[in-house]
Structure 1
Amino acid sequence: MGSSIDSYITLVTTSAVLNVFLCLYSYFRRAEIPSSKIFMLYTAALCVYTFGYAIQLASNTLEQMKFWTVVQYMGMPFSASLGLLLMIQYTGKTLSRKATIAMFIIPSITLFMVATNDYHHLFYKQVWLRTDTAVPLMDISIGQWYVVQGAFTFSCLLCACLILIGQWKHTKKMYRRQLLTLITSQLIPMVAAFVYLLGLTPGGLDPVPVLMCITSTMYIWAILSSRLLTIVPIAKDSIFESMREGVLVLDSSNRLVDYNKAMCLMLPELEVSMIGKKWDDIWLSLAGETFPVEYGREGLQTDLYWQLEGHTVCYQVRTSYVFNKGAQVVGILIMLIDITEQRFLQEQLKQMAYFDGLTKIYNRTQFLNKGKEILNDAKLTFRPAAFILFDIDHFKRINDTYGHDVGDKAIIHVVTVCNRYLNSEILFARYGGEEFVIAMPGASLQDGEQLAEQLRMALFNDPLEVEGVLISLTSSFGVAQYSGEEDSLESLLRDADRALYESKRNGRNAVFAYSASLA
């Protein structure tokens, strides 16, 4: 029996030395190991546990054995929590600070219980020296807290195993050797502890410290052969689910295979029951139309507008192919990126650059740009084009009498009335102050006069109402027509302005067309 104990002590000591090596390795390579701090603490705890157990076995008196038992429990209960944390970090998951602290409450109580057991006997009911062995060994009768600590340790080891096993199918084959090493490192002590509690181990000795020699050797082998912990493969689903962009995965038949959490937030109408259905059919049921993106093309980027919680949002859609090892297309990734704020800012800048802030129609600058396009088109197609300038009569009087707020309402009222008679082909803009300009592609001078008269009558017959007061609004119009190559936009607007001035000379609320006599 004595030689067997010596061999046992040697194996336990070897386990401790191997854990010292692992602890030092993780310290010196801490810059390369993402979980170096946890791994150092984990191997240090195992080192304290195994060294303490080896010295306890070599002790001669019960008091010495009890002392080294306390030393053991400075490492053993904490190693279970640290091992679980290490496996959680390895799979790319995190725990909150409170949850992490909570994992060390029971081990801390256990250490206190072991150190003070002589006063309460809650961890060991009784401790004595065995008389049936050639060398003195300590035997125990377990107490209530021993059961609590045992259940806690077993739970940590079991949870760590289940977490790692759950990542197996999401881990690339090249990293499965690492994963198997970690699973084994949790499984061996869990099974050994269970066998020990059943009293099935030779001589009633705890097999866990000896088996730590095997698990530590496996760690060293995995570190040297596959760079365990230095290159940590994060599980696919951790990356997939943590992405801020929404991602859809379609197979080669354009059937929905998977989607991530971000996509659920972007398109809350998506349901798990839709997986396996064709994406075109799904989108038809969601939006009532075909998917507005040609997702069968590689590298396509386009914008998609969607109603989310009563608001219009804009997603940039990007597509890419999914290839197998043979470089064959086996699916399509559709990525949705929320660019609502960016598009909103762009729209604001566009409004400021192109549109009048008060009336929301084109401003003078944009009219000049588009007016030149209309004129160039007229020159190329040999078609006429009419231009109308008009302003609100006695606008200063309205401002002076009712205030500038009412003056603004008058301008908005004029635009509202005019828009009833203008189609999408007609260019309408605020030219400045109370003055407006209209461009009519393909229209003759007579067409321009007719529209101007229609607008004049509409404004005359539709006064502005402000707080029950009717304010009569009239306008004066000047019309000019493009008729030859020599005409430019500037010259045509000057002609229309001369005609407008003639309307004012003739009492306002009138329409005049430009003629050579007004030049």
Structure 2
Amino acid sequence: MDSLLTTYITLVCVSGVFNVFLCIYAFSKKSEIPGANTFIVYTAALSIYCFGYAFGLAGDTLWQVKLWTTVEYIGMPFSAPLGLLLVLNYLGRKVSGKAAAAMFVIPAISLIMVATNDYHHLFYKSMQLREGMPAALVRIEIGEWYIVHGIYTFSCLLASVVMLLRRWNQTRKTYRLQLATLICGQLIPMTAAFLYLLGVAPGGLDPVPIVMCITSALYIWAMVSVKMLTVVPIAKETIFESMGEGVIVLDTEERLIDFNRAASIMIPTLRPSLFGNTLDEVWKRLTGSPFPVVRHSEGMLEELAWTAEGEQRCYQIRSSVVRHRNGDKAGSLFMLIDVTELKRLQRDLEHLAYYDGLTQIYNRTQFITRSREMMKECRETGLSFSVVLFDIDHFKNVNDSFGHDTGDKLIVHVVTVCKRLLTGDMLFGRYGGEEFVIALPSATLREAAGLAERLRAALEAEPLPTANGQIVVTSSFGAAQATDLVDTLESLLHAADEALYVSKRGGRNRVSVQ
């Protein structure tokens, strides 16, 4: 028995040395290892566990065994949740600070229970030396909290193994060696602990510190040879969930089978409970109508408007076929790209291109473009077409006397008054600084002159109120009708401009025709 005990102590010490080496190695490579702090504390806890157990085996009295058992529990109960955190970090799963702290509540209680066991006997009901055996080999009767501690430790190890095994098929062959090492690093101690709890360990000794020699050696080999923890694979599901674009996955029958976090944010009413329903059925539940996008062609690119939380969003939808390795269709994938801001920017740019920034009526370029089309339609249908050109009288004096801010307000005021008398089929545009133009489809020269007179009278009758009084507004108008001689928009505008100058030379605030 002494020979067996010596061998155990030696192997346990080797395990402790290996873990110290891993701790120092991880500290030296801290900048290269994701989650290095967790691995450093993990290996430090294992080192304390191994050395505490080794010193306990070498103890001569029951008191010394109890002392080193307490030291052992400074590391041992914390190693299992630390290993679980290490696995979660490797798999790319974030753990909040509160959740991480909660994982160490039971280990902390276990440490306190072992240190104070003589006062309550909740961890060990009794510890007695075995007659004729070394002092380290004691007969123990476990207490209630020992069972809690054992279940929790085993659960952490089992959870780590299960999560790593589930990742196996999603891991490329290049990374499976380090994944296998991590699995062994959790599975071997779990198996040894299970055998110890069943009471089949040789000599009643805890085999876990012994097998740690094997797992630590595996870790050393893997970190040096395959860069374990330094080069960590990014799992497919991690990429899927971290994508900024929403992704909806359908099977061959167009039934919803998956979606990522971005899709659930874009469409908040999308829920896992809808899995198994066709996309049309899902959309009917969400909106009352079938999915509005045609989805027969691969590489389809369409747009979808969707209102989320009271705000309308616009998504560009790209489709692609998902295939098995043999080329058979496995399903389809829809990627939703939020183009709301892009569409808003496009609308703003179009508005700037078409409308005057101050008055929000057509600018000169857009007015001419639309008027030319309108004139062509009127000519083809045999209808009359006229234009009215006018400007604000003595506008320069307003700017000089009251400032450009007031001048801008006067321009807006003129547009506001004129809009009341214009109908939807008339084109109204800002032709220049204080000059405006109106295109009148189906209007004769007499009708154009009549509208101009009504506008002139309305402007004169409604002065612009200011802080220091009112500014009376008058305008000079010129009207012209398209004829055989005046057969282009340019010649028509030129004729209206000549009529406008007739009004100016005649004393302003009047209407002239050409």
Cα distance in 1, alignment partners of residues 89 and 504 from structure 2: 82
Runs of 5+ unmatched residues, structure 1: 515-519
Give the aligned residue type for 1:420.
G
Listed one character per residue, the Cα deviations across residues 40-70 of structure 1 (whole Å, up to 9, x for unaligned) are: 2212211221122123212323333233223
Match of 1:412 among 409, 413, 416: 416
Give the aligned residue type for 2:50.
T
Cα distance in 1, alignment partners of residues 72 and 438 from structure 2: 92
Q: Does 1:159 align with 2:159?
A: yes
Q: Which moved further from structure 2: 67-76 or 495-504?
A: 495-504
Q: Equivalent residue of 1:418, what SS?
A: coil
Query: What does 1:459-498 correspond to in 2, within 5 Å?
Result: 476=477, 478-481=479-482, 489=490, 492-498=492-498
Listed one character per residue, the Cα deviations across residues 93-117 of structure 1 (whole Å, up to 9, x for unaligned) are: 1121222223233333433443444
- Normalising by the residue count of structure 1, what TM-score does the alignment of the two structures yield? 0.76
Q: Does 1:67 align with 2:55?
A: no
In structure 2, relative to structure 1, the CA distance for the partners of 1:323 and 1:448 (3 Å cut) is farther
Q: Equivalent residue of 1:248, what SS?
A: strand
Q: Per-residue deviation at 1:166?
A: 4.5
Q: Equivalent residue of 1:141, what SS?
A: strand
Aligned to 1:47: 47
Aligned to 2:22: 22
Cα distance in 1, alignment partners of residues 297 and 448 from structure 2: 49
Q: Does 1:183 align with 2:187?
A: no
In structure 2, relative to structure 1, the CA distance for the partners of 1:309 and 1:67 (3 Å cut) is closer
Q: Per-residue deviation at 1:82?
A: 0.8
Q: Equivalent residue of 1:262, what SS?
A: helix
Q: Equivalent residue of 2:49, what SS?
A: helix
Q: Contact 1:248/1:263 (CA < 8 Å) preserved in 2?
A: yes
Give the aligned residue type for 2:340.
T
In structure 2, relative to structure 1, the CA distance for the partners of 1:415 and 1:215 (3 Å cut) is same
Q: Per-residue deviation at 1:127?
A: 3.1
Q: Contact 1:246/1:263 (CA < 8 Å) preserved in 2?
A: yes
Aligned to 1:354: 354
Query: What does 1:500-519 correspond to in 2, within 5 Å?
Result: 500-502=500-502, 513-514=513-514
Backbone CA RMSD of aligned residues: 4.7
Query: What does 1:70-469 correspond to in 2, within 5 Å?
Result: 70-118=70-118, 121-133=121-133, 137-172=137-172, 174-220=174-220, 222-223=222-223, 226-251=226-251, 256-272=256-272, 275=275, 279=279, 286=287, 288=289, 291-292=292-293, 296-298=297-299, 303-320=303-320, 322=322, 324-325=324-325, 332-357=332-357, 359-368=359-368, 386-390=386-390, 408=412, 411-422=415-426, 427-431=427-431, 435-439=435-439, 447=444, 450=447, 453=450
The alignment of Structure 1 onto Structure 2 pairs a total of residues equal to 500
- Normalising by the residue count of structure 2, what TM-score does the alignment of the two structures yield? 0.77
Q: Per-residue deviation at 1:260?
A: 1.2
In structure 2, relative to structure 1, the CA distance for the partners of 1:472 and 1:431 (3 Å cut) is closer
Listed one character per residue, the Cα deviations across residues 251-304 of structure 1 (whole Å, up to 9, x for unaligned) are: 567654422122122123545465456556766774847645778354x66654
In structure 2, relative to structure 1, the CA distance for the partners of 1:222 and 1:407 (3 Å cut) is closer
Q: Equivalent residue of 1:258, what SS?
A: strand
Q: Equivalent residue of 1:200, what SS?
A: coil
Q: Contact 1:478/1:503 (CA < 8 Å) preserved in 2?
A: no
Q: Equivalent residue of 1:153, what SS?
A: helix
Give the aligned residue type for 1:268.
P
Cα distance in 2, alignment partners of residues 25 and 483 from structure 1: 94
Q: Contact 2:59/2:135 (CA < 8 Å) preserved in 1?
A: no
Cα distance in 1, alignment partners of residues 485 and 254 from structure 2: 57
Q: Contact 2:137/2:205 (CA < 8 Å) preserved in 1?
A: no
Q: Contact 1:460/1:474 (CA < 8 Å) preserved in 2?
A: no
Cα distance in 2, alignment partners of residues 388 and 406 from structure 1: 20
Q: Which moved further from structure 2: 307-316 or 361-370?
A: 361-370
Aligned to 1:517: none
In structure 2, relative to structure 1, the CA distance for the partners of 1:482 and 1:169 (3 Å cut) is farther
Cα distance in 1, alignment partners of residues 201 and 101 from structure 2: 34
Q: Per-residue deviation at 1:513?
A: 4.2
Aligned to 1:57: 57
Identity %: 48
Cα distance in 1, alignment partners of residues 279 and 438 from structure 2: 47
In structure 2, relative to structure 1, the CA distance for the partners of 1:34 and 1:355 (3 Å cut) is same
In structure 2, relative to structure 1, the CA distance for the partners of 1:117 and 1:267 (3 Å cut) is closer
Q: Contact 1:459/1:473 (CA < 8 Å) preserved in 2?
A: yes
